[in-house]
Amino acid sequence: MGMFRSLLILAAGAAIGGAALIAYRISQETGKPLQEAFSDVPAEAQRLFADIKTRATEAVERGREMYVEKQEEMADEPEQAPPAL
């Protein structure tokens, strides 16, 4: 029970800290007071998560393409016998 409670407190602290960081960045970029910038945090967080998801999807796709290319290269190379000892 104590471990679960600690993790819950840690997650809540991380969420509050992340929201404060995003609000601070919005405040610096737009010149709004920090209190007003907090109203823009949900939209900015959605934009950030969408950007991260897009980047991850692109990275996975590039990895798949590289894997297929490498498999084709290996299939094209003639099988070499191991060197004799």
10 has pLDDT over 90: yes
Say how many C-beta atoms besides its own lie within 10 A of residue 20's C-beta: 14
Q: Which residues contact 32 (CB under 8 A, 6 or more apart)?
A: 26, 40
43 has pLDDT over 70: yes
79 has pLDDT over 70: no
Question: Which residue in this structure is represented by tokens 């998560």?
Answer: 49
Residue 24 corresponds to which tokens in the numbers above? 């601070």
Region 12-36 average pLDDT: 92
Short-list 22, 52, 53, 56, CA closest to 39: 22
For the ranges 4-8, 20-24, 45-49, 74-78, the lowest mean pLDDT is seen at 74-78
Residue 61 corresponds to which tokens in the numbers above? 């796709």
Q: What is the pTM of this model?
A: 0.63
Band of the pLDDT at 77, cuts 50, 70, 90? confident
Nearest-angstrom CA–CA distance, 45 and 28: 16
